[in-house]
Homo-oligomer: A and B are copies of this chain.
Amino acid sequence: MNNKVLTIKEAVNKIPDSKARLALGGFAITRCPIAFVNEIIRQKKEKLDLYQIIGSMDSDLLVGSGCVKKYSYSGGSLDRFGRIERINQAIANNEIEVREYSGLSMSLRFLAGSYSMPFVPSKTLLGTDILNNLLKKGEKDVVVSKSPFSDEKWVYLKALQPDYAIIHAQYADQKGNVIIEGPKWDMEMAKAAKNLFVTVEKIVSNEYIKNNVEKVTIPALYTTGVIEAPYGAFPTSVYNFYDYGSDALKEYAKINRNDQDFEKYKNENILGTDNHYQYLNKICDIEGLLNRQAIPDYGYQPQRGSK
């Protein structure tokens, strides 16, 4: 069997040191590929051209660590925990180039990429400052033009096929057949990228895949590399595996508000560690981790009766 399993270090090593075109799968505080992103920071990749549907903890870490030159997304947050302040401040201070889209327009660009449609027409963005700003910034991937069938006006969005997509999922086999449980916002992005790296909670057998064929979200033909990374999205959540780490997220949403605190967090927890296990040791303890394990049928850690 074509074995695509590798380590995070090996996978990150395959990404060019500078100017890689990279898409990230996280959504606010769920299924963020934190283990992978931290290794990108450790390997000091720079000038990333970064794409994401919803800005999340993963991209906030990358922007805060100075790895990103340009960031295209549709807004984002850490849900009620706070804001992606590394990104917000980098935008306010003009430290990164930003291309702000809407959720649909980013998604359609990935959808088009996943089918190698060259571009898609939509009405969304018409009349907005999102569109005005993109055009003002000379974003060549967006054009307002009429339909080939009539004089009707459409926003044409160019397909996005980043060099690399990084997502975190529940399961994959060694060949790269991926099962995503719960909402699959990152599905088209994963299929659109020229190379797809997937970190998963568990590598499963090909037999498991075939026995659960109706759950396979991304067939192996799209996948470049598979990495087993238990708790690889923590402190963000993974449906059916573990809940978000509230304390760790509260802490992060505090330290991402200014340069000094973030710098300290990065130096101690990311650069000061060699791998994701060590990072986890820094941001929580074993009890804190295991207490967040999801309960079957719920998919998260429900409130205990006694609480």
Contact = CB atoms under 8 A, between A and B. Distances in A.
A1 to B, nearest CB: 21
B117 A119 contact: no
A156 B145 contact: no
Interface stretch (A66-74, A130-138, A146-154): A146-154
A121 B119 contact: yes
Report how many copies the assembly holds.
2
A17 interface: no
A43 interface: no
Contacts of A158: 149
Interface residues of A, number: 22
Interface string A150-189: 0010101010000000000000000000000100000000
A147 B121 contact: no
A267 B108 CA distance: 50
B120 A147 contact: no
Contact of A215 (B115, B148, B154, B214): B214
Contacts of A108: 115
A143 interface: yes
A3 to B, nearest CB: 26
A119 B143 contact: no
A140 B111 CA distance: 26
Interface string A103-116: 00000100100010
21 contacts: A108-B115, A111-B115, A117-B120, A117-B121, A118-B121, A118-B147, A118-B154, A119-B148, A119-B149, A120-B120, A140-B149, A143-B148, A143-B149, A145-B148, A148-B156, A149-B156, A149-B158, A181-B214, A214-B214, A214-B215, A215-B215
Q: Which 8 A-B residue pairs are closest in the complex by CB-CB distance?
A: A145-B148, A148-B156, A143-B148, A214-B215, A118-B121, A117-B120, A143-B149, A117-B121
